[in-house]
């Protein structure tokens, strides 16, 4: 896999813990990555879970993505019991020469929905945030919109917007983003706050960006609800409190589902420290871990084929 086609300053893969360790974005898979993945999946036989496909940009390498989907699909006959299948993407590969092949692969895989990142409804503003590399076609607004509509025809589409200064930060911008998202074919829009970090993170450029550019979800949501021009016709659907996140789900009068979501990494670390397993992460280096830190809470190391305990 290559470095991501975008270079978002807030990319959580570049966060580093003060107690050391590699950042996930720097891990590169060994040649036998898919053998290791198959092995890890067979060890999860009967475990109920959902596929959550993220990490760098899977669609940047079409052959890699096709092989990943084939490996996961093959495991479903004698591996984990899969509820939802979700891919997180910036859309780059779907706008490339293999876009159609990838779209068809999403359908035959039975993707439940796609989470497509775009952090502003104007191309230039989005590019200032996502900083796609020069040759990446999806940076262009018209290309993105066309690609999003093609994807929406293939699979349920959620547009994901990370709130931030210089991006979506005000109620009027929320309203403009929502009407643009509908035109792109999205059935759902997710507004996410920057994750709240605890003191266990190193003060690197990513952590500083999160601090400086943060937009408070609570304040923005309250401002939207107070502004009839923005929230007229919204109906509240549900409020979910997860183990380290909460989200409020509502519906606009023209049928768009809107989710406001916030996550607290401090709460997540507290839960993970209990030793209970809340999530399974298969890293590019072939380790299956119970959290987002490479080399920590290793459950299975497919490089050595030995099971490990908590460290
Ligand atoms: S698109 Fe996602 S993986 Fe790529 S740099 Fe942005 S946040 Fe990171």
Average pLDDT of 2-11? Answer: 91
Annotate 61-97 with b (16+ C-beta within 10 A) or e (fewer). Answer: bbebbbebbeebbebeeebbebeebbbbbbbbbbbbe
Stronger pLDDT, 199 or 58, i.e. the higher one: 58
CA distance 144 to 149: 9
Q: Which atom of ligand 1 is nearest to the CA of 5?
A: 4
User: Pocket of ligand 1, candidates 14, 90, 195: which has the most ligand atoms within 8 Å of its Cβ, to mutate?
Assistant: 90
pLDDT of the residue at 307? 43
pLDDT at 305: 63
d(CA 257, CA 234): 9
**Which ligand 1 atom is the nearest neighbour of the CA of 90?**
1
**How far, in Å, CA of 35 to CA of 37, rounded?**
5
Give residue 17 CA to ligand 1 midpoint distance, Å: 19
Q: Which residues contact 44 (CB under 8 A, 6 or more apart)?
A: 79, 80, 280
- Atom 8 of ligand 1, nearest CA residue: 11
Per-residue tokens: 237: 């659907």
- Checking if the pLDDT of 144 tops 90, the result is yes
CA of 6 to the centre of ligand 1 (A): 6
Least confident of 29-33, 35-39, 170-174, 303-307: 303-307
176-227 pLDDT, tens digit per residue, is 999 999 999 999 999 999 988 778 888 899 999 999 999 999 999 999 999 9
- Which of 2, 54, 56 has most ligand 1 atoms within 8 Å of CB, for mutation? 56
Cα–Cα distance measured from residue 177 to residue 260, given in angstroms and rounded to the nearest whole number: 13
Entry pTM:
0.92
Q: In the structure, what pLDDT confidence band is assigned to residue 1 with cuts at 50, 70 and 90?
A: low
**pLDDT given for residue 221 in this prediction:** 95
* Phi, psi values for residue 303, rounded to 5°: -75, -30
Ligand 1 mean position to 1 CA, how many Å? Answer: 14
Maximum mean pLDDT: which of 60-74, 196-210, 287-301: 60-74
Closest ligand 1 atom to the C-alpha of 7?
5
Query: Does 269 or 205 have the greater pLDDT score?
Result: 205
Kindly report, residue by residue over 227-243, the tens digit of the pLDDT.
999 999 999 999 988 77
Q: Which residues line ligand 1 (CB under 6 A)?
A: 4, 6-8, 11, 13, 56-57, 90, 117, 130
How far is the C-alpha of 230 from the C-alpha of 275, rounded, in Å?
Answer: 44
Distance of CA 229 from the midpoint of ligand 1 (Å): 32
pLDDT > 70: percent of the chain: 95
What value does the mean pLDDT take over residues 150-178? 98
Short-list 111, 132, 124, CA closest to 11: 132
Distance 90 CA to ligand 1 centre (A): 7
Whole-number Å distance, alpha carbon 195 to ligand 1 midpoint, is 14
What pLDDT is stored for residue 52 in this prediction? Answer: 95
Specify the pLDDT at position 309. Answer: 41
């Amino acid at each position: 896999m290559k470095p991501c086609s975008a270079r978002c300053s807030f990319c959580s893969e570049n966060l580093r813990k003060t107690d050391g360790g590699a950042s996930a974005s720097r891990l590169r898979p060994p040649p036998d990555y898919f053998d290791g993945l198959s092995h890890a999946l067979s060890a999860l036989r009967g475990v109920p879970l959902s596929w959550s496909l993220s990490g760098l940009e899977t669609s940047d390498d079409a052959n890699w993505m096709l092989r990943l989907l084939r490996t996961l699909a093959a495991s479903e006959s004698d591996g984990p019991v899969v509820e939802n299948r979700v891919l997180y993407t910036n859309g780059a590969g779907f706008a490339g020469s293999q876009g159609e092949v990838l779209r068809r692969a999403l359908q035959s895989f039975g993707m439940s929905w796609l989470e497509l990142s775009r952090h502003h409804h104007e191309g230039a503003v989005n590019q200032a945030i996502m900083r796609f590399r020069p040759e990446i076609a999806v940076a262009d607004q018209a290309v993105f919109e066309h690609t999003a509509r093609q994807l929406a025809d293939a699979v349920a589409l959620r547009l994901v917007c990370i709130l931030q200064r210089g991006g979506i930060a005000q109620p009027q911008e929320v309203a403009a983003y929502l009407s643009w998202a509908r035109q792109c074919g999205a059935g759902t829009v997710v507004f996410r706050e920057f994750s709240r970090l605890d003191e266990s993170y190193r003060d690197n450029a990513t952590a500083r960006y999160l601090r400086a550019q943060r937009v408070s979800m609570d304040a923005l949501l309250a401002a939207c609800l107070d502004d009839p021009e923005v929230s007229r016709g919204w109906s509240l659907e549900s409020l979910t409190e997860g183990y380290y996140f909460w989200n409020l789900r509502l519906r606009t009068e023209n049928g768009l589902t809107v989710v406001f979501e916030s996550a607290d990494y401090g709460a997540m670390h507290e839960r993970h420290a209990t030793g209970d397993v809340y999530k399974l992460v298969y890293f590019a280096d072939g380790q299956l871990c119970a959290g987002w830190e490479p080399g920590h809470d290793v459950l299975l190391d497919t490089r050595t084929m030995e099971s490990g305990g908590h460290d």
